[in-house]
Chains A and B, each alone.
Chain A
Amino acid sequence: MNKIYSLALLLCFILCATPANAQKSYPMLMSLKPVAAQVGQTSEHTISSRYSMYGAYQVLVSGEGVTGEILHPEVKEADKAKPPNLQTMKVRFTVAAEATPGVRDFRIATPNGVSTLGQLVISRDKVVVETDKNNNTAENAEPILLPAAVCGAVEKAEDVDYYKFNAAAGASLNFHVRSMRLQNKIHDLQQHIDPIITLRSAQGATLAASDNYFYGDPFLSHTFAAAGEYLLEIRDVRFQGNKYWEYCIEISNQPFVTTVYPLAVAAGKETKLQMIGFQIPADPMTTINPPADAAADAQCLPLPMGEAASNPVSVVVSKLPILQESDADNNTPEHAQTISLPGGVNGRIESAGDIDCFAFAAKKGEKFSFEVVARREQSALDSHLRILNSKGKQLALNDDMRIGKRSSADSQLENWKAPADGTYFIEVRDLHLRGGPAFVYFVRVTRSEPYFELYLDTDKTELTPGTGGVIYVRMVRKNGFAGEVQLKIEGLPAGVSATAGRILAGKGQDGCIVLSCEDAAMSVANITVSGKSVLPAEGEATPKELAAIAAIYQETYLPGGGRGHWPVGMHTVSVGRPSDILGVGLSAYEVSLKPGESKKIDVTIERA
């Protein structure tokens, strides 16, 4: 093993020594009440956590336009010597008028480190908070005015929450629930809600119900035949409950867009999109024009709808040449539409049993990677992807793909190699032979070239003055990439320095970044870890620079034990208050060893 690498590992191990008195954990956020805040408003919320949030000094919120402020509780003088175990705390969120609706991640920075993630829904509608704990029967339904983002909790087993509202004859309302989707990033919530909503007449008769529309969360769109009072019921489908099971039900008569067609647009090009969803205007078309320098990625954008804007919708921006599926029949290879590679194709599985075929030419040995982008961007499609030869024989098949540590219903065939010169076919269908307006997709076809992906399997690094830490970076080599990757870290808090390592060439898959914190004040910042490599060129070709930004995963407790990892958007480095370990010193900082040799290093720990 490389001697410098082994020293770096040793250093990491020592500097990561957990302070002896830090049996105080960082806070683990469990819930936020209410779980939603309105655009253009300032509102107070209560955070619940495991482990104390006492001394919290900053709120970090993902994205733009939302800020948080700690509302410090009054602490009596007598209690200041022994800090209280503060597991509930108020915070004030301010949402700018131009803030994009949707879900934001947030954390609390405390002297014991930065917390795990919480989630906040930003809604266009006025937030109405469940106040009546006796609203468990239709008779005691809590009255609400619409439109509203109704926030409450299914706080115990058999809890059922009822709300009553008035609707006019012919009125159409959308009921969009967020609850289960707010729980995957909660670190220690080992049981998740599965909500179901039911619309009832004033007499209690069922009008409509929804259980699982957006994964585990319901969505209903209903037109009321008669004017009058109506009831909305929400509960866990199993009649279970948990004091941390918050929900937000956005009830509105505004259009709700679930997806668009085409799904992908070219950067720098104005494109007309058909909006698909509920209460969509008679003219469902809108236009977007991503800037020419827009990143090639999926973006969640509000779409222009006359003078208003829609809810944020996923649109894929691509720099590939894009083919639009024609209206002609392309259900079989004989009628396939031709695509040039590399390129992308926008398509839709129009009806049940529809199959889309696209023809392409390839020379023997050419390698391509095919990827269906659909379900992860809220299409209804569970894609089934095949590559066929000119006789219609299957050469490759994929149903579900891996994206980092998780699987997706989208499909991917990487590094497919043409066996001979000829014409081949891409075949896309729905796995379950469904189809319809919402079954949109974008197939991305690129030449298979070596590349790499990086990820971090932690989402926070907690430092104290005089100590250090390490961020492990994992790499996945793709398409034969064998090079070395130099890691880099940006955005560190003041007073924190880093030594970014390398992931060695060959089969190396792990690297690390060592952080040290000499004498910094309490601070916190979200960092970015990236890696660069150079792909050697053959002959007179120019070497190509490869780069990747590390994806971030949060560790989550699994029921019954064990850990899972869920993708999150921020890795936060924090500097907490000094712990009982003030410094760590070594008797030697450079060691040179021959195989079979060993050397003793003395470690000195300076304690408070």
Chain B
Amino acid sequence: MAFVDSDDPKKRETLVDQLLGLTNDPNQDIYNDQYAAYWTLRWSDLIRNSSKSLGEQGMWSLHNWIKEALRTNKPFDQFVSELVTAKGSIYTNGPANYFRIHANPTTLTEATAQLFLGVRLECAKCHHHPFEKYSQADYYGLAAFFSRVGSKNSEEFGLFGRETVVVVRSTGEINHPRTGQRMQPTPLDGEPIDDPLDRRLPLAQWLTSADNPMFSRSVVNRYMGFLLGRGLVDPVDDMRSTNPPSNVALMDALTQDFVAHDFDLKRLMRNIMTSRLYQLSSQPTPENNSDRRFYSHYRVKRLTAEPLLDAIDQVTGVQTKFKSLPLGTHAIELPDAEYPNYFLTTFAKPRRVSVCECERSQEENLSQALHTLNGDILAKKIADKKGRVTELVAAKKPHKEIVAELYLAALCRRPSEAELQASKEFLAESPSPQEYYEDLLWALVNSKQFLYVH
């Protein structure tokens, strides 16, 4: 309410700083854990962290590493460098699990290129890329960096530990599938580079270099997509000469700032979130109604599965209990790929089988609409005897207060006079106040203002 009521012209900027933990005031920087939790979720989707491939301990190890990196705002070049050069125990060193998720040089090549260069290299595995300049030689030259990664077992976690240690061997090569030529480790558009002890070291240096625009641009573009609903290049991980940015100058400016400030993700996000672009109204004008590329108005996007479920839990006052996690764990904190939760499945929580951003589908469908309109998950939460509505009614608060609280909880604003007036009329028609307020909350949760970021 303090934000709603404030007329400070800088209140949005201040809120962004608070949410990102950039105020330098511990009393205000209180959302860092939630920040880390949400962005860990997003990066875990992309990196494909899953107990199905890693086992529970490996999954948690990787999850905790990602979360700690984001919580401490580790420079992103360092994050990626540690990931692609990871070795050691999969339990003690979370990023080592990257090499169990992608267990051979070709999957590592495709994943790394798509995640951190925004390049979809899969086609070049078998033939010259149809839309781009990359050939099979480029593909396998990149794959050669990963040709010496192996693993060994370890007993440091005891008899039951079943610990795997990712190691780099002194031998291992990649041959061109057609010519049979032994491929030297070669970055895209670059010259061969090698290291006698770990080929991934020069790969990481090239990949995350300030002089490698592919890396920094791909990160900038991805965060533009996260925050504004569409990247400057769309799809966000398909950056190529035949798919240029919609605004080259903006891409360059953001990228330069990102590199100049040590690949600081929070700074990048702040730049975007405090921009005029981010704060544009989502109401289009007749002139820009058809624009989907140039950010002429804020692009409305539906809340994704986990934040939506958390929002419903918060509004209704009834938390979802997830399997094998204590009550109170939010959906954005879920570490694993799959949970037996119908809501999350319906709203397209990714199963983490692909590094493509597209695995998290933003397309709305009828099942989702029916779920919130008619589904019993929402209905039960709204009607729960320990829920918000029941507590408000039991506290015998005045009607105006109850309605205000429901609107603030659901829509982050107070009801207008017209809405208030209508609510009085509907209350008078309802069999009971409890039933009315449940219906009101149901309507608010099913409104576009609740379901969509606008």
Contact = CB atoms under 8 A, between A and B. Distances in A.
A542 interface: no
Contacts of A432: 87-88, 167-168
B57 A407 contact: no
Contact of A206 (B57, B71, B92, B328): B71
B91 A183 contact: no
A211 B64 contact: yes
Interface in A351-399: 353, 382, 399
A87 interface: no
A137 B155 CA distance: 34
B262 interface: no
Interface stretch (B127-135, B158-166, B184-192, B250-258): B158-166
Interface residues of A, number: 46
B57 A558 contact: no
A180 B156 CA distance: 11
Given A209-B68, A433-B197, A433-B198, A180 B158 contact: yes
Given A215-B157, A432-B167, A205 B30 contact: yes
A240 B323 CA distance: 11
B89 interface: yes
B206 to A, nearest CB: 18
Contacts of B159: 184, 556, 558, 564, 566
A192 interface: yes
A216 interface: yes
B158 to A, nearest CB: 4
Contacts of B160: 190-192, 558-559
B152 interface: yes
Given A160-B326, A353-B197, A559-B160, A201 B152 contact: no
A321 B364 CA distance: 75
A2 interface: no
Contacts of A382: 88, 165
Interface in A126-181: 136-137, 157-158, 160, 180
A278 interface: no
A211 B32 contact: no
Contacts of A556: 159
Nearest to B327: A158
Given A237-B60, A239-B324, A353-B197, A407 B91 contact: no
Contacts of B180: none
Interface in A203-254: 203-206, 209, 211-213, 215-216, 226, 237-240
Contacts of A494: none
A399 B152 contact: yes
A409 B32 CA distance: 38
A215 B326 contact: no
A17 B64 CA distance: 53
Interface centre among B61, B160, B167, by most chain A C-beta atoms within 10 angstroms, is: B160
Contacts of A400: 152, 154
Nearest to A407: B155
Contacts of A184: 158-159
A431 interface: yes
Contacts of B158: 180, 183-184, 192, 215-216, 566
Contact of A406 (B26, B89, B91, B155): B155
B356 to A, nearest CB: 28
Contacts of A157: 324
Interface in B81-96: 87-89, 91-92
Interface string B198-225: 1000000000000000000000000000
A196 interface: yes
B64 A196 contact: yes
Contacts of B87: 431-433
Contact of A409 (B61, B154, B157): B154
B32 A158 contact: no
B325 A158 contact: yes
Interface string B26-60: 10011011001000000000000000000011001
A194 interface: yes
B198 to A, nearest CB: 6
A192 B157 CA distance: 9
Contacts of B26: 201, 205, 226
A559 B158 CA distance: 13
B198 A205 contact: no
Interface string A527-551: 0000000000000000000000000
Nearest to B96: A432
A178 to B, nearest CB: 13
A136 B326 CA distance: 10
B97 to A, nearest CB: 13
A238 B57 contact: yes
A555 to B, nearest CB: 11
A215 B156 contact: yes
Contacts of A399: 152, 167
Interface in A68-118: none
Interface string B7-32: 00000000000000000001001101
A327 B29 CA distance: 46
B198 A211 contact: no
Contacts of B326: 136, 158, 160, 239
B271 to A, nearest CB: 25
Contacts of B165: 382
Contacts of A209: 64, 68
Contacts of A201: 26
Given A157-B324, A158-B325, A216 B198 contact: no
A203 B33 CA distance: 11
Interface centre among A184, A196, A201, by most chain B C-beta atoms within 10 angstroms, is: A184
B340 to A, nearest CB: 16
A168 B400 CA distance: 47
Contacts of A434: 88
Contacts of B325: 158, 239
Contact of A237 (B32, B36, B64, B71): B64
Given A201-B26, A205-B30, A216 B64 contact: no
Interface centre among B87, B89, B155, B158, by most chain A C-beta atoms within 10 angstroms, is: B158
Nearest to B29: A205
A205 B33 contact: yes
Contacts of B36: 206
Interface string B121-160: 0000000000000000000000000000000111111111
A136 B159 CA distance: 30
B32 A238 contact: no
A406 B155 CA distance: 8
Nearest to B64: A211
B161 A211 contact: no
A205 B64 contact: no
A211 B61 contact: yes
Interface in A462-486: none
B64 A238 contact: no
Contact of B91 (A137, A191, A194): A194
B70 to A, nearest CB: 11
B202 to A, nearest CB: 13
Given A203-B30, A433-B197, A237 B157 contact: no
Nearest to A352: B201
A206 B32 contact: yes
Contacts of B157: 180, 194, 212, 215-216
A212 B61 contact: yes
Contacts of B71: 206
A194 B68 CA distance: 18
Given A184-B158, A209-B64, A238-B324, 5 more contacts: A136-B326, A201-B26, A212-B61, A212-B91, A434-B88
Interface of A: 136-137, 157-158, 160, 180, 183-184, 190-192, 194, 196, 201, 203-206, 209, 211-213, 215-216, 226, 237-240, 353, 382, 399-400, 406-409, 431-434, 556, 558-559, 564, 566
9 pairs of A and B residues whose beta carbons are closest in the complex: A158-B326, A564-B159, A212-B92, A432-B87, A184-B158, A237-B60, A238-B56, A215-B156, A432-B88
5 contacts: A184-B158, A212-B61, A239-B324, A239-B325, A408-B155
